[in-house]
Structure 1
Amino acid sequence: MTEKENQELVAEEQDGLGQDIKEEDSAVDDKAVVMGKDARAITSLSWRFIVTVAALGVAGVLLKFVWVGLLPVILALLLSSVLAPVAAKLRSWKFPPALAAISTLLGLLFIIVGVFTAMGPVVSRQGSQLWEQAERGVDELLKMIESLPFNIDATQIDQLIKEATSFLQGQMSSIASGVISGASAASSILVTVFVMFIISFFILKDGDNFLPWLRKYTGASIGWHVTELFTRVWKTLSGFIQAQAAVAFVDALFIGLGLWVLQVPLAFVLAVITFFAGFIPIIGAVTAGALAVVIALVSNGITNALLVLALILIVQQVEGNVLQPILQSKAMGLHAAIVLLSVTIGSALAGIVGAFLAVPVAATIAVLFRYHAEMVALRAREITPEDIEIRTGEAGDNPEDSPRARVRKLYEAMSS
């Protein structure tokens, strides 16, 4: 290589890049070092993301295998969180724990059976009337189509109806298999409900011994963290079910009264359906309201259906903008968008059961994140133990050694 070529290779940059960097600053401002750090950070984040997605995928696969046994446990926890105050009240009246649990569950069953027993005669009496009114409505619709100033041949409509009927008749085997699978599903539901009540009995009877038993094996530090965390989850689930029950009852009461005043058939049945549908946020209310409007349209005509629609919209607006935010904000603290997204994902994954369990699961995850955030802030000394609202209750005769005091001592040790 000639001297001239060597000079060209080491010639200064024409743009003057890097000319003002001092030798002592080269290690600090080295672009290769900075880009290397960024690459390592992106790689680390990517691996964490891949591992997290893989773990969620494995958890989803395992969940399919244990779902049959896990579902009654989840439902029992939700049911017990609502019935626990009743069982505790019976215990305060000197009921033995087993008798208090049995009495609470039998009382719930008596209420449910009584409601559905009262619905039976109404459905059998008014159901046939609705079917006849629906047939008359279809005939009137055909007459209206014939009177329209369009070239619509009624025989073509009749032909479409006949083709649809023949198609249904040709699918009798599929319908029969569907009935068999429906019977199998019904038996599965009965088994799930039975197991749910059995687990609920044991939770109501011996549930208060679970956390003390758990602390024996986890140690004091983890045990009291678990105690506070489980207490928050338990109270959140209880608050959610109670808030949903209150909101659903208000909806069912006022919509049922309105349907009765408007002389809509099956008003009592529709009120009961509205109550149970209210436990599925957003979707349940829309479905129950649509059913009421359709029945009003078939039975009493378009004017009555519009009045029912107005009634449902007014009640649901008052409930959604006044009552529900007050009750559920205290119970869960979830934004409406999170509730809607949770219900959508839950219904897509597990149907009606998933839609019902979506919000409690989202609320439980929110409790976990909030507790972790509080513990991080406590260890960083951004907050003090006095700033944390401890949900673990006072138990025992010595307040200084109560569960609440033990949790506070744990927080004080973490912040010191």
Structure 2
Amino acid sequence: MDRQITQDDRKEDDKTESNGTFWQRISTNALVRFLLFAAVGWVLVQLINHFQYVIFVFAFAAILAILLNYPVQYLKGFLPRRFALGIVVLLSLAAIFFLALGIGVTIADQLQDIAATLTQTITSLQTPLNQVQAFLNQRNISLDLSPLQQQLQSLVFNGASWLVSYIPTLLGSYVTLIIVLVITFFMLIDEGNLWQFILRLVPQAQRDRFDRSVHRSFQGFIRGQLLISFLLGLATYIVFVIFRLPFALVLSMVVAVFDLIPGIGATLGVTLACLIVLLQSGWWVALQVLAICVILQQLQDNLLAPRIMQSTVRLHPLVVFFALLVGTQIAGLLGVFLAVPVAGAIVSFLQIEELQAA
């Protein structure tokens, strides 16, 4: 009887030990593997810093390929894959072409308006300064305002020069977009063969779990990012309508689309929206748009986004913040772009339950 109780107790202890926390299950061999993993991670950080642009292009193309693969899979139920792929690619290229054309025409018009505004500003600055200078000369006051006039003109011309110098950056962004689209197209044609090659580098015993972890994390991240951007655009539209601001629908769509780009996208969206309003409605309305967008984005970044990523990527909110900070420190914009899905894949693959969402 005592022997049976002892065996039962031992089985219970073994069961408790096997179901313990991550730190209770870790062993010496696991610690060595963890240290090796950390060393490999350090090497990867150096490689990421060196090939940051290349990794960013391929990562962005991979995310686009994942998004476009959903309609391809849907159309495969009615059409052969080649026809489905061709339809999706043609529609995507048409949408991107008209969007780029519209943005290009808008930017060209706005640059012309800015040039006209700068010319008018220079003229308006010269007139009152000349009047003040004439007033001082009539009263024999020896005060030369020409240096001030030159400084103001220099300030305006420097702003114009900055806008002109931004054009090569804009052209470089268009070239990068074309490269991303070409890589996305080939990824769709590849049908996952490249990913299968990467999986063969993983030990066979861990291959399926690694595959599931990466797909679940990145797909969850994409769903979460789409939901966050949609909610931000909806909230922006509602607030703009309440405050009776012009171009409510267009501006909210601009903010939502650019918000899909992690990190810098929100800033770009707000800047473009404020520039549009500034040229059409003046400083006061532009300041209102800026204040509303900043408040909504702070609510999104600090309250909404961590909760959504908690449910879609299954990461604890603190882990989301930590991953974003570490990613920014390691790889800048690329780190912000990949931090959350990579952290989700690592936590899921290592089965660290303490870092997953409750």
Regarding TM over 0.5, the answer is: yes
Task: Give the Å deviation of 1:309.
Answer: 3.2
Residues 228-263 of structure 1: CA deviation (Å, up to 9, x unaligned): 332232122112112212322343455467389523
Task: Give the Å deviation of 1:308.
Answer: 1.5
3-state SS in 2 of match to 1:92: coil
Equivalent residue for 1:197? Answer: 185
> How far apart, in 2, do the equivalents of 1:338 and 1:122 lie?
40
Instruction: Determine which of 149, 154, 172 is the counterpart of 1:158.
Output: 149
Equivalent residue for 2:101? Answer: 117
Q: Structure 1 282/130 Cα, relative in aligned 2: closer, same or farther at 3 Å?
A: same
> How far apart, in 2, do the equivalents of 1:197 and 1:180 lie?
26
3-state SS in 1 of match to 2:292: helix
Equivalent residue for 1:132? Answer: 116
Q: Structure 1 stretch 191-200 or stretch 160-169: which is displaced more?
A: 160-169
Instruction: Determine which of 239, 243, 246 is the counterpart of 1:263.
Output: 246
Q: Structure 1 137/348 Cα, relative in aligned 2: closer, same or farther at 3 Å?
A: farther
> How far apart, in 2, do the equivalents of 1:232 and 1:48 lie?
19
> How far apart, in 2, do the equivalents of 1:121 and 1:300 lie?
19
1:59 corresponds to 2:39:
no
Gaps of 5+ in 1: 1-45, 377-416
Contact 2:320 2:340 in 1 (8 A): yes
Contact 2:259 2:266 in 1 (8 A): yes
Equivalent residue for 1:87? Answer: 72
1:274 corresponds to 2:274:
no
Instruction: Determine which of 292, 297, 321 is the counterpart of 1:316.
Output: 297
Task: Give the Å deviation of 1:143.
Answer: 8.9
RMSD between aligned residues = 5.1
> How far apart, in 1, do the equivalents of 2:320 and 2:126 lie?
43
Equivalent residue for 1:78? Answer: 63
Equivalent residue pairs, number: 311
Task: Give the Å deviation of 1:276.
Answer: 3.7
> How far apart, in 2, do the equivalents of 1:294 and 1:314 lie?
18
Task: Give the Å deviation of 1:278.
Answer: 0.9
Matches within 5 A, 1:274-353: 274-281=255-262, 283-293=264-274, 296-297=277-278, 299-313=280-294, 315-316=296-297, 319=300, 324-325=305-306, 327-335=308-316, 338-347=319-328, 349-353=330-334
Task: Give the Å deviation of 1:275.
Answer: 3.0
Contact 1:82 1:242 in 2 (8 A): no
Q: TM-score, normalised by structure 1?
A: 0.56
Task: Give the Å deviation of 1:97.
Answer: 2.6
Task: Give the Å deviation of 1:162.
Answer: 5.4
Equivalent residue for 1:107? Answer: 91
Task: Give the Å deviation of 1:49.
Answer: 9.5
Q: Structure 1 198/68 Cα, relative in aligned 2: closer, same or farther at 3 Å?
A: farther
The percentage of counterpart residues that share the same residue type is 22
Contact 2:254 2:273 in 1 (8 A): no
Residues 306-328 of structure 1: CA deviation (Å, up to 9, x unaligned): 42234324543665577545532
Contact 2:315 2:344 in 1 (8 A): yes
> How far apart, in 2, do the equivalents of 1:192 and 1:318 lie?
31
Letter in 1 for 2:349: L
Equivalent residue for 2:212? Answer: 231
Q: Structure 1 327/142 Cα, relative in aligned 2: closer, same or farther at 3 Å?
A: farther
3-state SS in 1 of match to 2:246: coil
Residues 288-308 of structure 1: CA deviation (Å, up to 9, x unaligned): 324534554565344323422
Matches within 5 A, 1:138-217: 155-161=146-152, 187=175, 190-202=178-190, 206-207=191-192
1:244 corresponds to 2:225:
yes
Equivalent residue for 2:3? Answer: none
> How far apart, in 2, do the equivalents of 1:309 and 1:67 lie?
31
Larger radius of gyration: 1
Equivalent residue for 2:28? Answer: none
> How far apart, in 2, do the equivalents of 1:49 and 1:209 lie?
27
Contact 2:217 2:345 in 1 (8 A): yes
Larger RCO: Structure 1 or Structure 2 (Cα < 8 Å, ≥ 6 residues apart)? 2
Q: Structure 1 303/368 Cα, relative in aligned 2: closer, same or farther at 3 Å?
A: same
Equivalent residue for 1:408? Answer: none
